[in-house]
Structure 1
Amino acid sequence: MEEAEDATASQSPPPQRRQLCTGCDRPLPVCLCRALPPTPLPTKTKILIIRHPHESRHKLNTTPLISKTLLNATTVSSRRLLRHHLPNEVPPAIYLFPPSPSAPAVALSQLESTNLLNYKTSPLLLIVFDATWKHAREMVSASEGVLKGLAQRVCLDGVDENAAGGSIYDNELVLRKEPFGGCVSTLEAVARCLGVIEPNGDEVQGVLIRVLREMVRLQAAFLKPSKPRPKMLKKTKHKQDSAWSVLLFSFFLL
């Protein structure tokens, strides 16, 4: 009898994977085709996204949507920017990343005052690092040899490591917890940047933000309410508190 049950179990079909939309490559319940433009939008800016290999496995990664929305967006899977990722003749380039004491950055709102937005000479190259904050730091550090003298560091306005994470523009655009204020999704960062550097920036930014807003709206229906975890004391702190309790109890017994 047991052998028959084992044979039946072994013959049962494996669990089916979720069906993916052939248009946006996302599961059918969260299909984004209605928000995507009929054809990718052309931009004067060339966008190069260096995506950490771990991000390709993340379900909420927004980089694939950038490629489906923008014609001139290229994605490379790598842990750092290498010279062969760039064109032979590199145009004026910027890369998005918050400033550091050793590497200051031009705020996005101040970019128009520089000479980088002169489209009469050559188009601009926008380099973006797509990763978690920890991995992004490592990627930029490992890429400094290529970036030095090649690209200007630019940051979004409102970056604040002392503030809570989330979109600095619209809370409805937050897909997952960000480490601090100003750390937004890759799609939103590209959208905000193109909104400034593209001649028709408002239009391009509006299309990208519409895609992101629809993605967040659909994902929200599948989020489970989180329960706050009780704060756990460290073992050393717990031992100290226990020792004090015993000492006070002994004192009152005297």
Structure 2
Amino acid sequence: MMSDFMHDDNQFNHPNARRRICNVCERPATVCLCDSIPAEPFSTSTQIIILQHPHERRHPLATVPVLNKCLRSCQTLIGRRLRRGGSALLDSLHDAATEENPKQCLHVAFLFPGTDLTPSMEINQWKSSFGDDDSNKFVLIAFDGTWKHAKEMVCSSFPFLSKFATQVCLNYDVNVDGGTIYNSELILRKEPFGGCMSTMEAVARCLRVLEPNGVDIESKLISVLRTMVSFQASFLKPLKPRPKLLKTRKDDEKKIS
């Protein structure tokens, strides 16, 4: 797909000129994703709602804007918590669940690792708890932000979400350090523990489970993400260890030898 760039004719002559931005993918020309993003967004029976922290809106590594261009049934809300008035769909689900005889026709899950106080169900297990007739009736809610922000967003949204949504998770391991872009091709930023991933990858993994053609959708989304990460990796330099950490590492090596 060809991309159309917004630029100033004198951009190369002006030292403070802004970078050319693609009108289609809305990314800088040097990392344009138009050749990877589908010409027509993928249709899914699963409805996806993403609560994006305000600080993430302009982050250069944010994957949500790209995800929105890849999926037709994907809505992004900007804020720090979910509550009544933020989404007509979520309001209707909340109201239906609080009625005396609730008739909820959609199965709703919000994606976040569980704790002792708020345990989560692995998404495959959650999906398997419904019959085949319910296979096209899912709503997936995800939170986009740093790990700290995401936890705050989930906690503040829990009183509202707990009325009608189930907390689900993908496989993760809190005892294993998270990866970085230098040891995994799909990681854009340092993750807090093993199994954590970008919002786009997490949604792709969930759709693999929830959608009838989920394997194909996941593969296509991951392909776009892989291109995005490869662009970013080409502009990054491996971090040098801080002096204190380097000294500690050398001392440990001497002890072992």
TM bin (shorter chain):
0.7 to 0.9
Corresponding residue number in structure 1 for 2:153: 139
Corresponding residue number in structure 1 for 2:66: 65
Note the residue ranges of structure 1 that are not aligned, 5 or more in a row.
1-11, 233-254
| 1:5-27 residue CA offsets vs partner (Å, 9 max, x unmatched) | xxxxxxx9560111111111111
Residue 92 of structure 1: how far off its partner (Å): 1.8
* Counterpart pick for 1:190 among 183, 203, 224: 203
Corresponding residue number in structure 1 for 2:6: none
Call closer, same or farther: CA 1:116–1:78 in 2, change over 3 Å.
farther
Matches within 5 A, 1:74-85: 74-85=75-86
| 1:152-185 residue CA offsets vs partner (Å, 9 max, x unmatched) | 111011x112211138xx9211111111112100
Corresponding residue number in structure 2 for 1:221: 234
Aligned residues: 217
Corresponding residue number in structure 1 for 2:116: 101
Call closer, same or farther: CA 1:191–1:217 in 2, change over 3 Å.
same
Quote the Cα distance in structure 2 between the aligned partners of 1:161 and 1:124: 28
RMSD of aligned alpha carbons: 1.9
Residue 89 of structure 1: how far off its partner (Å): 3.0
Quote the Cα distance in structure 2 between the aligned partners of 1:225 and 1:189: 25
Corresponding residue number in structure 2 for 1:152: 166
Residue 83 of structure 1: how far off its partner (Å): 2.1
Which one-letter code corresponds to 1:111 in the other structure?
W
Residue 70 of structure 1: how far off its partner (Å): 0.2
Which consecutive aligned stretches of 4+ in structure 1 deviate over 6 angstroms post-superposition?
Answer: none
Quote the Cα distance in structure 2 between the aligned partners of 1:193 and 1:45: 10
Report the secondary structure of 1:142's partner residue.
helix
Which one-letter code corresponds to 2:92 in the other structure?
E
Asked if 1:110 corresponds to 2:130, the answer is: no
Corresponding residue number in structure 2 for 1:244: none
Call closer, same or farther: CA 1:136–1:116 in 2, change over 3 Å.
farther
Structure 1 contact 80–143 (Cα < 8 Å) conserved: yes
TM-score, normalised by the number of residues in structure 1: 0.80
Quote the Cα distance in structure 2 between the aligned partners of 1:207 and 1:154: 23
Report the secondary structure of 2:134's partner residue.
coil
Q: Larger Cα Rg: Structure 1 or Structure 2?
A: 1
Residue 230 of structure 1: how far off its partner (Å): 1.1
Which one-letter code corresponds to 1:112 in the other structure?
K
Residue 108 of structure 1: how far off its partner (Å): 2.3
Corresponding residue number in structure 1 for 2:224: 211
